[in-house]
């Protein structure tokens, strides 16, 4: 007969003045041949020990069931060790100490408090814990050997009898752990003691298998199926097994196992065309049964799974541009395996352009599967037709995206697809992507201009001649719409009857044009277009420059004060003494201009020009520049303007009803900080 000797020995150093911090229990298994005929209680088949526990082995309890944890540790009275303890049962206080008084229970590495232990007889002690907490723990029964115990080291009452310790019935958790104690002799010397392992039990306190509610299955591109579920933590080992059947088929009452044991191991199951059993692509519905099992019981959960509503297609492929204009794109694409899907597919198109201010924001296109579907208009009470319709043939889908805002622009497009039966945004495919550039067109508009946005410089050598600079606010890059973009500025003259001559500028830049040697006694009406390789903008801007004798008197002493706060300027000026206030039929006002330039005054400004109107009664004004760039210079100018108010409301800036002094650039710049004003320059 084969026997294993358990030697669970922990040395306790009684020289220490502190509590024992950890108990080391060493199990040494030695195979020996002994006779088991005299053993009534053992720790297990083939294990040699001085006793055992009842029940033996693993113990499984349901948490909250009201069933207490009970373990009885029984010593074998016919073993030499126990018999020797019977001979030493009188302690120094003449109290009887039976071997059962030396039984100590441990929960893992911690002593179980004595209130949970009852002395049953001379060789047995009972551990009883009402309402044990959920968890997995190992309980050890050990026997104290060769040192005299203090009273608190024993589970006996103070009178040394065998009566039980009273337990609290409503206690569900153990009180604080009591570490092993030490005792000393009167002379201060310490003895060594040891523990002998008797037996152990692994105790599982947990729950019955739960009903699974978060069961999900997803088919990827209609070529496989994966089901997943999660379970709550349970100290008791619990397994789930998934089975399925196909409604309506022959033998449909038979449930079929998962192809592998992944349901038991990992709480999932996977099928494709190569698994056995294989993925059943053609069935719209599956019936699933999920069986849970552990030592406390079994549970089954049933699911009717809508297969076709839980398919996530692959990205659309073969995306091609069939035709495009400056504002529309006709696409063609395919869906691969999903082409033969027996239910309708829904598509979604998103796009963004290179000019969109928020690169994370995409524009969505509403796609309808039905072309020429009549839609009732509430405004006209007539039938209109939805042009955002999708068409298809046997292999491809087609859709024309219209209303694109920017010609000659890079666009990123994303096309998604999902089953028409699917619900939720998580069922869309990953996008199929394409980048393209819309066709070019003529510029969207001319540059913006205003009354008085010109500057005249009379020739020093010929007072009848002058150079005229006209300015404008350049258009945004997104409005240029094509290659070879430029501005074109000109004026016309009638040298011969019925013959008009176009005079283009001598120089032209991003923000202004220069005309040289024009007559000071003639007023000119200038025209400015935006132009690219597709032609001129449909509209144009006009700037009227009167003759020198007709021009209004210029404001003087335009002063710029620069504040510490970036982008804030104070402008002040004086009139020439003849500036009129506005009347009922005449509007007299100032225009303040500012221009962002890489160089300061007196260099000609070729940056972004902006302006604001100020009443003719004002002589001081604060300007706050948005998107201020500290690296650039900001040049300011002012013009005095007059506009007649016509009764027919055609108050355009024209030579017949408006006049201006033209621009006067700043003559003085002051740096204004908290303690001192520093004059940069003044040119009076």
Q: Is residue 634 a contact partner of residue 625, using CB atoms and an 8 Å limit?
A: yes
Q: What is the pLDDT of residue 496?
A: 75
Least confident of 100-104, 142-146, 226-230, 503-507: 142-146
Average pLDDT of the segment spanning 174-179: 34
Q: What is the pLDDT of residue 511?
A: 96
If one counts every other C-beta atom within 10 angstroms of the C-beta of residue 447, the result is: 22
Q: What is the DSSP letter of 11?
A: -
Side-chain-side CA neighbours of 662 within 13 Å: the count stands at 19
Average pLDDT of the segment spanning 24-29: 32
Q: What is the pLDDT of residue 5?
A: 39
The CA distance from 263 to 261, in Å, is 5
Q: What is the pLDDT of residue 18?
A: 34
List Cα–Cα distances, 588 to 585, 607, 618, 642, 643, in angstroms. 10, 28, 11, 4, 7
Burial of 490 (0-12, 13-18, 19+ CB in 10 A): middle
Average pLDDT of the segment spanning 354-370: 86
According to CATH, the topology of domain 556-682 is: Immunoglobulin-like (2.60.40)
- Which residues have CB under 8 Å from 509's CB, separation 6+? 606
Model confidence at 590: pLDDT above 80 = yes
Between 96 and 462, residue with greater pLDDT: 462
Give 680's pLDDT tier (boundaries 50, 70, 90): low
Class of CATH domain 313-437: mainly beta
Query: What is 2-206's CATH number?
Result: 2.60.40.10
Architecture field, domain 216-309: Sandwich (2.60)
Which tokens hold the place of 246? 């196909």
- Of 45-54, 76-85, 235-244, 584-593, highest mean pLDDT: 235-244
Rounded CA Rg of the chain: 48
Q: What is the pLDDT of residue 9?
A: 33
Q: Is residue 201 a contact partner of residue 108, using CB atoms and an 8 Å limit?
A: no
Largest CA distance in the chain: 147
Between 368 and 670, residue with greater pLDDT: 670
Model confidence at 484: pLDDT above 70 = yes
Supply φ then ψ for residue 502, to 5 degrees.
-95, 130
The CA distance from 428 to 46, in Å, is 62
Q: What is the pLDDT of residue 151?
A: 41
Which tokens hold the place of 58? 């693993």
Burial 135-153 (b: 16+ CB within 10 A, else e): eebebbbbbbeebebeeeb
DSSP secondary structure string for all residues of 227-260: EE------SS--EEEEEEE-TTSTTTTS-EE-SS
Average pLDDT of the segment spanning 233-252: 87
Model confidence at 671: pLDDT above 90 = no
Between 39 and 610, residue with greater pLDDT: 610
- Which residues have CB under 8 Å from 373's CB, separation 6+? 385, 386, 389
pLDDT exceeding 90 applies to what percent of the chain?
Answer: 63
If one counts every other C-beta atom within 10 angstroms of the C-beta of residue 95, the result is: 16
Burial of 327 (0-12, 13-18, 19+ CB in 10 A): middle
Model confidence at 372: pLDDT above 50 = no
Q: What is the pLDDT of residue 186?
A: 32
Which tokens hold the place of 329? 């794109």
Which CATH number fits the domain 454-545, given the four candidates 1.10.3720.10, 2.60.40.10, 2.40.110.10, 3.40.50.300?
Answer: 2.60.40.10
The CA distance from 128 to 586, in Å, is 106
Give 152's pLDDT tier (boundaries 50, 70, 90): very low
Domain ranges of the chain: 2-206, 216-309, 313-437, 454-545, 556-682
Which tokens hold the place of 212? 């699974």
Average pLDDT of the segment spanning 545-563: 93
Q: What is the pLDDT of residue 30?
A: 27
Using the Cα atoms of residue 467, residue 472, residue 475 and residue 481 in order, give the sign of their dihedral. Answer: negative
Domains 2-206 and 556-682 share a fold: yes
307: left (phi over 0), alpha (psi -120 to 50) or beta: alpha
Give 575's pLDDT tier (boundaries 50, 70, 90): confident
Give 603's pLDDT tier (boundaries 50, 70, 90): low
- Please give the angle made by the CA atoms of 328, 329 and 333, to the nearest 5 degrees: 155
Model confidence at 3: pLDDT above 60 = no
Average pLDDT of the segment spanning 633-654: 75
- Which residues have CB under 8 Å from 607's CB, separation 6+? 510, 511, 595, 596, 597, 598, 632
Per-residue pLDDT tens over the stretch 65-119: 999 999 999 999 888 888 888 877 666 666 778 899 999 999 999 999 999 999 9
Q: What is the pLDDT of residue 578?
A: 64
C-alpha dihedral, 614 to 620 to 624 to 629, nearest 10°: 110
Q: Return mean pLDDT, the chain.
A: 82
Burial 561-595 (b: 16+ CB within 10 A, else e): bbeeeeeebebebebeeebeeeeeeebbbbbbbbb
* 3-class DSSP assignment, residue 340: helix
DSSP secondary structure string for all residues of 567-584: TEEEEEEE--S-PPPPBT
- Please give the angle made by the CA atoms of 663, 669 and 673, to the nearest 5 degrees: 140
Q: What is the pLDDT of residue 647?
A: 59
If one counts every other C-beta atom within 10 angstroms of the C-beta of residue 1, the result is: 9
């Amino acid at each position: 007969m084969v026997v294993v000797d358990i030697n669970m020995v922990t040395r306790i150093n009684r020289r220490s003045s502190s509590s024992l911090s950890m108990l080391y229990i060493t199990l040494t298994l030695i195979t020996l041949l002994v006779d088991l005929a005299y053993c009534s209680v053992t720790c297990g088949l083939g294990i040699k020990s001085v006793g055992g526990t009842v029940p033996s082995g693993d113990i499984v309890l349901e948490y909250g069931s009201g069933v207490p944890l009970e373990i009885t540790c029984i010593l074998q009275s016919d073993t030499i060790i126990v018999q020797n303890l019977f001979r030493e049962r009188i302690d120094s206080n003449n109290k009887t100490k039976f071997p059962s008084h030396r039984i100590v229970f441990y929960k893992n590495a911690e002593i179980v408090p004595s209130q949970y232990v009852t002395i049953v007889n001379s060789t047995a002690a009972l551990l009883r814990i009402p309402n044990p907490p959920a968890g997995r723990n190992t309980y050890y029964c050990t026997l104290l050997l060769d040192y005299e115990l203090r009273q608190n080291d024993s589970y006996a009452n103070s009178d040394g009898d065998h009566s039980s310790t009273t337990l609290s019935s409503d206690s569900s958790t153990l009180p604080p752990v009591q570490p092993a104690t030490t005792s000393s002799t009167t002379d201060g010397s310490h003895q060594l003691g040891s523990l002998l392992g008797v037996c152990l039990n692994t105790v599982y306190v947990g729950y019955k298998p739960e009903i699974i509610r978060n069961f999900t299955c997803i088919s990827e591109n209609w070529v496989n199926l994966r089901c997943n579920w999660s379970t709550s933590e349970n100290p008791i080992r619990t397994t789930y097994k998934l089975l399925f059947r196909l409604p309506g088929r022959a033998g449909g009452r038979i449930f079929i196992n998962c192809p592998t044991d992944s349901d038991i191991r990992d709480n999932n199951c996977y099928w494709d065309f190569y698994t056995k059993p294989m993925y059943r692509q053609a069935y719209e519905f599956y019936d699933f049964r999920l069986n849970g099992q552990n030592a406390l019981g079994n549970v089954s959960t049933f699911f009717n799974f809508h297969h076709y509503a839980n398919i996530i297609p692959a990205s659309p492929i073969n995306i091609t541009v069939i035709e495009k204009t400056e504002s529309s794109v006709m696409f063609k694409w395919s869906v691969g395996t999903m082409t033969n899907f027996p239910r309708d597919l829904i598509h979604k198109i998103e796009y963004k352009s290179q000019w969109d201010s928020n690169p994370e924001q995409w524009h969505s296109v509403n796609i309808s599967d039905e072309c020429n579907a009549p839609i009732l208009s509430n405004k006209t009470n007539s039938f209109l037709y939805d042009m955002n319709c999708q068409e298809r043939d046997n292999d491809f889908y087609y859709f024309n995206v219209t209303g694109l805002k920017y010609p000659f622009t890079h666009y990123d497009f994303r096309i998604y697809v999902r089953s028409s039966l699917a619900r939720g945004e998580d069922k869309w495919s990953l996008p199929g992507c394409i980048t393209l550039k819309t066709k070019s067109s003529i510029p969207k508009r001319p540059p913006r201009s205003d009354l008085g946005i010109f500057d005249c410089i009379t020739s020093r050598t010929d007072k009848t001649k002058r150079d005229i600079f006209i300015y404008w606010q350049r258009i945004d890059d997104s409005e240029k719409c094509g290659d070879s973009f430029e501005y074109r500025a000109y004026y016309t003259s009638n040298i011969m009857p019925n013959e008009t001559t176009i005079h283009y500028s001598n120089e032209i830049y991003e923000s202004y044009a220069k005309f040289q040697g024009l007559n000071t006694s003639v007023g000119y009406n200038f025209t400015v277009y935006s132009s690219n390789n597709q032609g001129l903008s449909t509209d144009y801007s006009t700037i009227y420059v009167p003759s020198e004798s007709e021009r209004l008197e210029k404001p003087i002493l335009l002063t710029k004060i620069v504040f510490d706060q970036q982008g804030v300027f104070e402008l002040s000026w004086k009139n020439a003494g003849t500036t009129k206030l506005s009347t009922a039929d005449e509007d007299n006002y100032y225009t303040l201009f500012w221009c962002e330039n890489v160089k300061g005054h007196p260099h000609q400004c070729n940056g972004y020009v902006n302006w604001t109107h100020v009443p003719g009664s004002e002589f001081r004004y604060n300007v706050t520049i948005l998107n201020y760039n500290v690296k650039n210079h900001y040049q300011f100018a002012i013009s005095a303007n007059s506009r007649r108010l016509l009764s027919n409301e055609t108050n355009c800036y024209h030579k017949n009803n408006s006049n201006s002094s033209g621009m006067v650039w700043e003559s003085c710049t002051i740096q204004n900080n908290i303690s001192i004003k520093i004059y940069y320059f003044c040119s009076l």
